[in-house]
Amino acid sequence: MLEFAVLGPLEVRRDGVQLPLGPPKQRAVLAVLLLEAGRAVSTDRIVADVWGDDPPGSVLTSLQAYVSNLRRVLRDEDATTPIVRQPPGYRCTVGPGGLDLARFREDADRAVRAADDRDWATAVTAATAALDRWRGPLLADFADENWVVPAVAAAEERRTACRQTLVAGLLGLDRVTEAVHTSAALHADHPLDERACWLHLVALHRAGRTAEALDTYRAHATRLDEELGLEPGPALRDLQGAILRQDAALAGWPGPAVPLATVGLTAGRPPAAAVSSVPPVVEPAPVHAAHPRTTRPAADPGDPSADRAPGGPGDPSDPSSAGEESDTLIGRSTELAALAAVLEPGRTGWAVLEGVAGIGKSRLAQACLARWADAGGSLVVGRCPDEPGQPAWWPLRQVLRDLGEDPDAVLLPPAGVEVDAARFATIERVRAVLARHAAGAGGLLLHLDDVHWADPTTLGFLTVLAQSPPVPGLAVLLTTRPVPAGGDLPQARLLAAVVRASRSRHVVVPPLSPDEVARLADRVSATPLTPAEADALAERTGGNPFFVAEYARLPESGRGAGEIPGAVRSVLDRRLATVDAEVLRVLRVAALVGQTLDVDLLERILRLDRDELADLLDDAADEHLIVAGGDGTPGGYAFVHALMREQVADGLTGLRRQRLHLRIADEVADRGRPEAVHQRAAHLLAALPLGDPAETVAACRAAAEQAAARWQSADAAYWWGGALQALDLLPPSAQQDRGDLVAAQVTAYARSGRGTTAVETVDEELARAIDTGRLEACGRIAVSLLRSSGAWPWAVYGTTPDSVLIRRLEQLTGLLEDSPADRVRVLATLAVGSCYHPDPDVPDRLGREAIAVAERLDDPDALADALLARAITYSGVADRAAEVDAVLTRLAGLPHDQSRLDAVFCHNLGALTSLLLGRVDEAAAHVRDGIAAADELRLPVSRAQLRWIEAELTQWHGEDLDRAAEQFERAWQVHAETELYNDGVFELSKISVAWDRDRLDGLEIPLAGPALFWLRVIVAALQRRPGSVEALTAEIARPEPVIWTTHGRLTLLAHTVADLGLAELAEPLRTRLSRWSGQVAAIGHVGNVGPVDLALARLSRLVGDPTTARTRVAAARELCRAQRASRHLLRARLLDLELALDDRPGEAGGPDPDEVAAVRREAERLGMDRLAARAEALAAEVVRS
């Protein structure tokens, strides 16, 4: 780190080692720039300060040489330098804490604030720290130069004020002896200063040296008279009188013993009025009375605003400046104010800056970072590169590294933990790191730039972070381009989560107005634009600041006679046309490497020595083609904008570009860094078709396998796709692995939750195989779908027999007669895809045929595929629960290649099947074992489904529906990160919980989509809306093949009919439901509505069949008692009591009043208000009888 020291002789140190700064004039150039650190200093001013009024004719050449020399001396390991060219001259950017005078000011201001709050210990600590930084007068080696005199005076005033604060603090802590010595030195250094004398007199008096204090007063008065012909001021005269009277008020100064209202103190200043016995006094004029929060001396180079990025905003601690436009940030006051409202150091908050490329998102973010840093907060920045196949957590790895953490230690999943739990454990570890660093006084601002390019893992983490309870002190600032319609779902989910977060603001950055365009162009341009040019520029650029600035940077001759470029690319072309060819050669290679320049890599590829390369990069920075860092702080170079990088790269011919990618791939591989595997694969892909396709296939395979080993399935799918892209360039005879690669990609898609993409990939590959006649891999490709959606069918609800993929699979069954094993797999896949077929015989026939053919083959792997397909086809279907149970038992005992993977499916499907059959404890065991197996094999889809059924089991037991609702919410979060079927899934879970709470009639859940039509009918009927009974009648009569929602839907309809007393609708429902007597009405993995027998009992009572009603309710009670379902058992108990009253209406010997009361109390405890009301009505009937 560079440390600039100007308090004393000019020095610069890197990591504690002093750097040679060259001859006096070269040192003077640096001194001039440091006095305006963070701001551009014009060439004219530098010349005037360093060379005076009569510079030589070669002065500009000399200045350029000095700047070049300084850049070389100050360069860091990334070849960046703090000195950059910025019209109309140069700017020196100093990192936070990099200038001793700025640190001095911060400590001095902190001392003043503490003294104002009477926090004397902090005041003394801060003032001492500030004064310890003082090595001598400001720029002591240039003390005689006119240009430094005002800055020296301003800095000396701040030091004097700090010494005064120190004396006051020492007296406040009752460290009187130290106060005497400190005030004596202050008075000796400033013998005519009345405040210094005043403080010294108070210190002497409090030390018991009153006579010496009075002698000092007389000596001061004599000196004033002899040297200036003046008398002491009123404050000193009043103090002398108070000392002579031994006034008690002075003994307590400046501590709380003397009330402020009485003494009128401010830090380091004498009282404006003493206690009642002391006449009012007038205090001496302060050396620097203005509080730093409101006023700063204009000439003071220690002002923290001089220590920030160029164009940083004003003082962040002044609320009035929150929305002000900064010196170089034009037209953004509204946006700055909006951001300042939620990004306050020490407080939590979220902000999103959204806008098109070049609109100024990053510039606004830099202004926010500068405000945050100036206010004393910590900040950390991560950037999302526009690079294909970037590793998971990439920007967060940068963040953790910059926070001093080991990214691998934080981000590698813990061993021995299930996959989903491991992912959330990793998220919690990152969250804990951020929380620890946010716990400081100023909090932590996490800025992630360009999140539209973020990897899925990072987007998922940010989404969870936004949805979780706020981390104290952590604020998050994101920049992003707009999400296109139908675009990236993870990005859209993140932005939706941020909007819902507490203290959040989503700011869409607008274009500049025509007036603001003109002002920006004038500021950037070396020569002002004419009004006509400015108006035309506003129209043609649409107010995009980047486009405006790029045009304005063109030389006047390059603009044409008033001609405005029609597109920004032509502007960039004109900019690049003036750049030195060697600089452009370096930038073109850098553009292929990435947005951030890798200096080590460039050095090796270009065969340039370090200094030569650094000089060329400095030239590029002078042309504003690259910048040091991206947040205004020193660091590696990066392209000024992604558009600039694209335009630079576009200057390469296709062949030249491919050759460079090959060379970069070789160099990356030689470095052996952890990210080298995927970087090499990316560059080899970009080098096609020039590179070796076989080598590229191998590289992409290695990247895919590395990603899969790190549980990064989305990345693995990308690299398998790259391998297939390269494979297409090989002759057909060399493509034998195609089926394996496609199957691996589909598996990766499935494991990352992208089931829909897996289906699309299989469809494309099967079409390709049919068209080319290469059918040998069709079975493997087709059956890869089988396991793509966990325990759910790969076909989504509503898949019709005429869908393209279904027709293609049907075609393959006829083409694969000579390949029976492949035909089994296609039949099995087709059976699952036909699960929603209107003719239920179709999937049944296909599944049976697949099993029969596999059994004749004596092929255990083909048989396993056929059995698994059978179980998935009827997953959650009550009619087939017993059959699925038997199939799963057979599959679990069948040795085959995918037995470990299929064990997860057996547990997943077995949990649901056991629940349907009323074996709830057995279902819980399947969930437990399934989670362990899914974790071991890293199967997020199965884990998501197991989360659903875990919540469903909690709901079944009924004691803690709040916990069940939380588990359903967490299951939905995991589910939403996949491409599993979504329509109505979460709503179904909410419906089932609402029914269990006995509050379905007050439901306000939006029930959109065709899959939820029957729920809308039920809610409307319970709310007794007009026409709802007719709709309910039609829904009961609606024909439907038996699918996973059927018996749950009919059970809920039965309860609705019973609640409304619609006896005319009860019989058809009773007939349809009776086939499932003894089962649990589970709605797939996402909810249940109790035992089917309980609904049948209510319907039987409604139609006047008490015998069947008692039989059904007894079965329901036994199931609920055995499987611990408290709410359903309570409903059954109440129905039993109602049946007892039906048996003996108006007679003795009916329901037990104590049991009725017990049911009512339990219903009230569980919050089942409607059930409690039924119990209360029953109790009234019992009393009447």
| C-beta of residue 173 within 8 angstroms of C-beta of residue 137 | no
Residue with tokens 């860092």: 629
- Final residue before a domain boundary, out of 450, 478, 508: 508
- Number of domains comprising the chain: 5
- Domain that includes residue 538, residue range: 514-578
Report d(CA 207, CA 419) in Å as an integer: 71
Residue 1181 within a domain: no
> Are 155 and 225 in the same domain?
yes
300, 303, 302, 266: which is closest to 286 by C-alpha?
A: 266
CB 960 within 8 A of CB 926: no
* Among candidate residues 38, 63, 92, the one where a domain is terminated: 92
Question: Are 986 and 1069 part of one and the same domain?
Answer: yes
User: Are 47 and 133 part of one and the same domain?
Assistant: no
Q: How far is it, in rounded angstroms, from Cα 172 to Cα 662?
A: 71
Tell me the CATH number at 81: 1.10.10.10
Task: Find the CATH number of the domain harbouring 501.
Answer: 3.40.50
pLDDT digits (tens, 9 = 90+) for 620-631: 888 778 877 644
CA–CA separation, 1135 vs 1123, rounded Å?
A: 19
Left (φ > 0), alpha (ψ -120 to 50) or beta: where does 380 sit? beta
Sheet architecture: strand order including 83-86: 40-42, 89-92, 83-86
pLDDT of residue 25: 92
Q: How many CB atoms lie within 10 A of CB 834?
A: 27
> How many alpha carbons lie under 13 Å from residue 1038 in its C-beta half-sphere?
17
Question: Strands 626-628 and 637-639: what pairing?
Answer: antiparallel
Among the listed residues 710, 695, 645, the one whose alpha carbon sits nearest the alpha carbon of residue 665: 695
Q: Check whether residue 1035 and residue 1139 sit in a common domain.
A: yes
Residue of 912, 964, 883 whose CA lies nearest to 791: 912
Residue type, 713: S
Q: Residue 128: inside a domain, yes or no?
A: yes
Using CB atoms within 10 Å of the CB of residue 217, give its burial: 0 to 12 exposed, 13 to 18 middle, 19+ buried.
buried
Strand 504-508 vs strand 349-354: parallel, antiparallel, or unpaired? parallel
Asked if 444 and 526 sit in the same domain, the reply is no
* 520 shares a domain with 501: no
Identify whether residues 984 and 1132 lie together within a single domain.
yes
Same domain, 991 and 1139: yes
Instruction: Tell the burial category of 341 from Cβ atoms under 10 Å away from its Cβ (0-12, 13-18, 19+).
Output: middle
The answer to whether 108 and 158 are in contact (CB under 8 A) is yes
Matching residue, tokens 């129209």: 539
Please name the amino acid found at residue 394. Answer: W
Does residue 1056 share a domain with residue 1034? yes
Asked if residues 803 and 841 have their Cβ atoms less than 8 Å apart, the reply is no
Taking the C-alpha atoms of residue 1091 and residue 223, their distance in angstroms, rounded to an integer, is 103
CATH number at residue 184: 1.25.40.10
991 to 1048, 1090, 1132, 1159: CA distances (angstroms): 11, 13, 21, 24
CATH of the domain at 1020: 1.25.40
All residue ranges of the chain with pLDDT < 50 are 257-327, 485-487, 560-567, 630-634
Identify whether 329 is part of a domain: no
**Same-domain check for residues 246 and 383:** no
Residue 274 lies in a domain: no
pTM of the complete model? 0.59
Residues 132 and 230 grouped into a single domain: yes
Q: Which of 479, 508, 537 is the last residue of a domain?
A: 508
In a domain, 1097, yes or no: yes
Q: Is residue 477 located within the same domain as residue 347?
A: yes
Question: Is the residue at 723 inside a domain?
Answer: no
Q: Does residue 800 belong to any structural domain of this protein?
A: no
Question: Is 283 a member of any domain?
Answer: no
